[in-house]
């Protein structure tokens, strides 16, 4: 099972939803980075369960421990190992699906691939694994902060309820001021109500997370197969429940003429090459062009719902699957820090790779 990502800044996550712990190793983080434990814990707190009544009520502190790679608050250039112990498992909630395949879950496909599966919360396929990514992404963020790079994601859509304002019209810092993580307070309130009503109905609902990255200079990204947008797309599509990724103009760009879509270049007063528009989303030819990077990630409704559904078991018998356990009715509020973390991992790797592309 591939549980690694990255070329120079490389991570490997481990652990299961109802195992003793989950964790991550980070290989390739440069020595000399101030290891801000408060910042890393704050990032994990943004993702952890039990934040409000519209998230899963599983209670995990998600406090991390450093096993290696850091001494006296400074990274040593050696592999960093972080662990997060599971403390609130309720494995008995999943006993009834030991042989049943939950609709739209990974139960059947894991069984088909491995001939066995950990049915307790989905085991390795559980979104609990993303806590390890957020921890690693926080370290990547610390590295990127030194390069002047900032990453801000926010919820732009829940079901059919869409935030009508573009990111240029929003104060993105407001995203952390409400439980939905939408930077428009009025829209956030409507989204909260929609998610809460969905929860009360025993159902789930999907949504979209937008992400804006500032401070990336021109020149990050590898042409052909490791294009910057291709790596961002792979990273986002590796997140549980993600069904779509687009950057810049995305699918809407297919409706335009080239004369409408092309970003014209100009030289600003500081002598920098800029573009008058940014339909390219800050990336051209798979390489950053120095403009703001913008992308969107679509999440499906959470597969577990508190309603009976027809399915089959491992013996091929028709069964009725009853939803039990603690689950998010909508994943997007807690997905915001996960999207940021994966973007940070991609960009930290691309920054390191960019250092060897030319004589400095």
Task: Tell me if 160 is assigned to a ligand binding site.
Answer: no
Task: Tell me if 357 is assigned to a ligand binding site.
Answer: no
Task: Tell me if 53 is assigned to a ligand binding site.
Answer: yes
DSSP 8-state assignment for residue 323: P
Task: Tell me if 241 is assigned to a ligand binding site.
Answer: yes
Could you tell me how many residues make up the chain? 360
Closest-CA residue to 277 (of 254, 251, 295, 259): 259
Task: Tell me if 120 is assigned to a ligand binding site.
Answer: no
Task: Tell me if 126 is assigned to a ligand binding site.
Answer: yes
User: CA–CA separation, 347 vs 7, rounded Å?
Assistant: 11
Whether residue 94 contacts residue 119, with contact meaning beta carbons closer than 8 Å, is answered with: yes
Helix and strand totals (H; E) in the chain: 7, 18
Cα torsion 126, 81, 154, 192 to 10°: value is 50
The radius of gyration of the chain's CA atoms, rounded to the nearest angstrom, is 21
Q: Output the six-digit token pair for 297.
A: 């990630």
Task: Tell me if 156 is assigned to a ligand binding site.
Answer: no
Closest-CA residue to 247 (of 220, 265, 266, 227): 227
Beta strand pairing status for 74-75 and 64-68? unpaired
Alpha carbon separation from 152 to 8, 110, 144, 149, 250 (Å, rounded):
24, 34, 13, 10, 19
Task: Tell me if 25 is assigned to a ligand binding site.
Answer: no
Q: Output the six-digit token pair for 198.
A: 């969905």
Task: Tell me if 125 is assigned to a ligand binding site.
Answer: yes
Task: Tell me if 289 is assigned to a ligand binding site.
Answer: no
With 0-12 / 13-18 / 19 or more C-beta atoms within 10 angstroms meaning exposed / middle / buried, residue 39 is middle
Task: Tell me if 240 is assigned to a ligand binding site.
Answer: yes
Task: Tell me if 55 is assigned to a ligand binding site.
Answer: no
Task: Tell me if 243 is assigned to a ligand binding site.
Answer: no
Task: Tell me if 52 is assigned to a ligand binding site.
Answer: no
Residues belonging to the binding site are: 47, 53, 124-126, 240-241, 285, 300-304, 326
Residues in binding site for NADP(+): 47, 53
Binding residues for FMN: 124-126, 240-241, 285, 300-304, 326
């Amino acid at each position: 099972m591939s549980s690694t990502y990255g070329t120079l800044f490389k991570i490997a996550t481990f652990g299961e939803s109802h195992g003793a712990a989950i964790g991550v190793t980070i290989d390739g983080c440069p020595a000399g980075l101030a290891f801000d434990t408060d910042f890393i814990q704050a990032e994990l707190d943004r993702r952890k369960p039990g934040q409000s009544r519209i998230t899963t009520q599983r209670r995990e502190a998600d406090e991390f421990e450093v096993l290696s790679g850091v001494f006296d608050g400074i990274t040593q250039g050696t592999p960093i190992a972080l662990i997060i112990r599971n403390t609130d498992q309720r494995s008995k909630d999943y006993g009834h699906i030991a042989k049943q395949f939950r609709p739209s879950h990974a139960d059947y496909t894991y069984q088909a691939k491995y001939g066995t599966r950990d049915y307790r919360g989905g085991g390795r396929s559980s979104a609990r694994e993303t806590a390890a990514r957020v921890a690693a992404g926080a370290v990547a963020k610390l590295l990127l902060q030194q390069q002047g790079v900032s990453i801000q994601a926010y919820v732009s859509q829940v079901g059919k309820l869409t935030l009508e304002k573009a990111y240029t019209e929003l104060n993105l810092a407001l995203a952390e001021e409400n439980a939905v993580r939408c930077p428009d307070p009025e829209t956030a309130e409507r989204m909260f109500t929609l998610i809460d009503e969905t929860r009360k109905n025993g159902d789930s609902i999907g949504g979209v997370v937008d992400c804006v990255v500032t401070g990336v200079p021109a020149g990050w990204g590898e042409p052909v197969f490791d294009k910057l947008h291709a790596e961002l797309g792979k990273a986002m599509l590796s997140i549980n429940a993600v069904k779509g990724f687009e950057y810049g103009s995305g699918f809407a760009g297919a409706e335009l003429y080239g004369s409408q879509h092309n970003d014209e270049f100009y030289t600003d007063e500081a002598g920098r090459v800029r573009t008058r528009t940014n339909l390219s989303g800050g990336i051209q030819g798979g390489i950053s062009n120095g403009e703001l990077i913008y992308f969107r990630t679509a999440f499906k409704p959470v597969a577990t719902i508190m309603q009976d559904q027809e399915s089959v078991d491992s013996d091929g018998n028709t069964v009725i699957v009853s939803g039990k356990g603690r689950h998010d009715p909508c994943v997007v509020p807690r997905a915001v820090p996960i999207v940021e973390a994966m973007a940070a991992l991609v960009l930290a790797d691309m920054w390191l790779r960019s250092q060897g592309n030319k004589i400095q």
